[in-house]
Chains A and B, each alone.
Chain A
Amino acid sequence: MTMRLWFPASIVILWGGLALVSPLLPLNPHAIDLANILTPPGATTWLGYDDLGRSIADRLATGAQTSFIVALAVVFLGVTLGGLLGATSGYLSGWVDHIFVRIVDILLAFPGLLLAIALAAALGPGIENVIVALSLTGWVGYARLARAQVLSLKQADHVVAARAIGTSTWRILTRHLLPLLTAPLIVEASFGIAGAIIAEAGLSFLGLGVQPPEASWGSMIRDGTRYMLVAPHLVIIPGMTLMLVVLAANLLGDWLRDWLDIKDQVGKR
């Protein structure tokens, strides 16, 4: 069963590590070398070169950085903002909660990536706007989860006891409720990372994400589709990378969920 953890964990660590060290590496993701146009992967050419003679390995590494920054920022903003708002709303209940639920419902009324695409289109391209668009649409899931958890935890003995002895709302939220929320939020976040990676690549694929010459796996796939006939490696390499990382994040989420569930049961006994 260790395979279930080590395979995805090592890929995710590789991805994060690459993103973190890539600014320190001597990468030339924008260096155009016309003589190398569409060179296929090989022993001396690494992963080959793209339609402008840029190194695919270098662009893959900077693309990892792009996706890492976006995924981390989106998930962090989503978990903290969404978690806090959802928990507060669930705890306070009453009209605050009512309005909150309405807002969440409205945001959930937009299907899939649609709102993010529309937001990114209105805000204009660029990595910051991708983060803004994905966070604005992404926090809702965490908020809903946190709210539902708080609603059920509110009646838990230790919370009722804390309230009885007159502990402040803020203290109850931060000391008694949030710690219990972390586990489900972490599981949700690991799936959220997978979602954010795909969403960023999707926006870049549509030309709404990072702008050329900046590298993103999504824009690499889009550019690569034009040379599918003569240089399929341009599509296959970034696509496989993207898929592996997303798969790893999903597997990790699955594993985390199972693992945390088991721990829960152990705790109850």
Chain B
Amino acid sequence: MIPQFLISSVRKSPRFIIIIHWPATLLILALGLVFGACSSQPDPNTIRMGVAQAPTNLDPRYATDATSARINRLLYSRLVDFEQDATPVPSLATWVQQSPTHYVFTLRDHVPEFHNGQGVTSQDIKATYESILSPHNASPHRGVLHIIDRMETPSDTEISFYLKRTDPFFPSYLVIGILPANLIANRHPFSDHPIGNGPFRFLDRPDETRVRLVRQTDGQLVEFLRIPDPTVRVLKLLAGEIQLLQNDLPPELVAYLANQPTLHLQQSRGANFAYLGFNHQDPLTGNILVRQAIAHAINREDIIRYVFQNRARQAQALFPPDHWAGPVQLTGYPYDPDRARTLLAEAGFGISHRPTLIYKTSTDPFRLRLATIIQDQLSRVGIDVVIQSHDWGTFYGDIKTGRFQMYSLAWVGVKTPDIFRYAFHSQSIPPTGANRGRFASPIADHLIEQAEVSTNRTEQRTLYHDLQVHFLETLPYIPLWFEDHICFSSTEITGYRLESDGNFDGLLQVQRNTSTTHVASIRSPAI
């Protein structure tokens, strides 16, 4: 490693010469490394998006977290998609309902090929859903799709779904990305090397922080960068290192960015339901009085006003009032610390006997901040809270497997009321579904089942209304709020549209303006 001339010079001259060359040697080494290690200059044509969490699973059969789901939407196509108002519409295939329990889906003409060049056939669809349904694979989506009794493929473009019972929402369950049948059979590692037929092709994952996709239509490179720290995300956006930033920003930074001339802000009412979840088998959180006390102890109004700076709205139920299944005019639990203390006393707690709760959350600073505020508000009514924050993977793993007493999380991108079976039915306990708190209510089960077999929209709406009223009484979750969607894009790109559910589909249209060079004109904040 030491250049030859240095060694020879040492031999000839007094011994200390080598020390004089110490810095020089290091400089040479360092320069060598500068050019060696940093050959990967950022490509000026790539469009980069900063995300708070890296996708945990790029296999749509297993993915459940929001980032994975949003990226998988780009990599894979599905049979059915949604309109703006949450009604299902054909995507890969159109469908006909032959009988209450028999649906026939027909692939559209000119369906794009899989990224490995294979054509998409009904066999692929069958194989995808069969592998989800196989108990052996323990897919988290199995619970909802369990309704499928069997599938038949009369031709390459046709597939029949026979159901175990009627379900008016059945088409809206078929939103999982389709994988090639032969690769499923070969146990292809889709999470590492996704192969679908979506508008984007997977390029690579150069390290744990980056995922690169290629747009099929024009070869545009899109890169997702995991940047856990929101300030760093913002700084990178301001410095032009990324061009897009969507959600997961503390409201103070949103306000700050909104004042930047080089950025474009898009904002819309969100429908992602933030809640407090509980373990219903725990003696403390399984007690309805304790949960009601917690609900009364949290001052959501103040949190929304001061912390969210009004970029959120209170939630009383899983669906917002503007969703067709969302209940209107529910009163919920107003902030009432005295009532909370009374409820706690009824549950047998008091000043000398304060309950202690373990509250799990991710290490995301904003989530941690909200958790600390909730901790403070609960301690004021006499509940001690211990916050345990873990990195996203560990935290989400703990939640999925039911290792928690209390936690906060949000349901992201939920469109159809099948969420109620998935998250609250007593038969949806993991790994079959997402009833992670092991909530069990015969009334809820009954209402869910009734609504599922009903074919009448009005009747369904009433049933779901009753169900959500029942949830507000029994509190499987404590509803918190719906955060607004925020998207900042730099002026280097155009055409990105913020979707109403916060997905990344805007990347299909986005273009990089090659002519404008980024000028770092950042206003310095006054100290």
Residues of A near any B CB (own CB < 8 A) = 30, 32, 34-35, 37-38, 51-53, 212-213, 223, 225-233, 236
Contact = CB atoms under 8 A, between A and B. Distances in A.
Contact of A34 (B255, B302, B387): B302
A219 to B, nearest CB: 12
Helix, strand, loop or mixed for chain B's interface?
Answer: helix
A30 B384 CA distance: 14
Contacts of A233: 527
A38 B252 contact: yes
Interface string B367-380: 01100110110000
Contacts of A35: 302, 306
B256 A229 contact: yes
Q: Which of the listed residues A212, A226, A231 has the most CB atoms from chain B within 10 Å of its own CB?
A: A226
B307 A34 contact: yes
Given A213-B375, A230-B255, A236-B527, 8 more contacts: A32-B373, A53-B306, A212-B387, A225-B231, A226-B250, A229-B253, A230-B525, A233-B527
18 contacts: A32-B376, A34-B303, A34-B306, A34-B307, A35-B306, A37-B306, A51-B250, A52-B372, A223-B365, A225-B229, A225-B231, A226-B231, A226-B250, A226-B365, A227-B231, A229-B231, A229-B256, A232-B527
A227 B252 contact: yes
Contacts of B372: 32, 52, 212-213
B373 A34 contact: yes
Contact of A232 (B234, B255, B525): B525
B140 interface: no
B306 A230 contact: no
B198 interface: no
A236 B234 CA distance: 20
A213 B527 CA distance: 26
Contact of A231 (B235, B252, B302, B369): B252
B242 to A, nearest CB: 16
A226 B229 contact: yes
Interface in B227-278: 229-231, 234-235, 250, 252-253, 255-256
Helix, strand, loop or mixed for chain A's interface?
Answer: loop
A70 to B, nearest CB: 22
Contacts of B302: 34-35
B525 A30 contact: no
A118 to B, nearest CB: 18
Contacts of A231: 252
Nearest to B257: A229
A225 B230 CA distance: 10
B256 A230 contact: yes
Contacts of A32: 372-373, 376
Contacts of A223: 365
Contacts of A230: 252-253, 255-256, 525
Nearest to A223: B365
Contacts of B375: 213
B367 to A, nearest CB: 12
A30 B373 CA distance: 10
A229 B234 contact: yes
A32 B252 CA distance: 17
Contacts of B305: 34
A102 B307 CA distance: 56
Nearest to B250: A226
B376 A229 contact: no
Q: Which of the listed residues B230, B231, B255 has the most CB atoms from chain A within 10 Å of its own CB?
A: B231
Nearest to B370: A52
Q: Which of the listed residues A52, A231, A232 has the most CB atoms from chain B within 10 Å of its own CB?
A: A52
Given A34-B373, A38-B252, A52-B369, A226 B527 contact: no
A31 to B, nearest CB: 8
B264 to A, nearest CB: 18
Contacts of B234: 229
Interface in B290-306: 299, 302-303, 305-306
The 8 closest A-B pairs by CB, nearest first: A34-B306, A32-B376, A230-B252, A230-B256, A34-B302, A232-B527, A226-B231, A226-B365
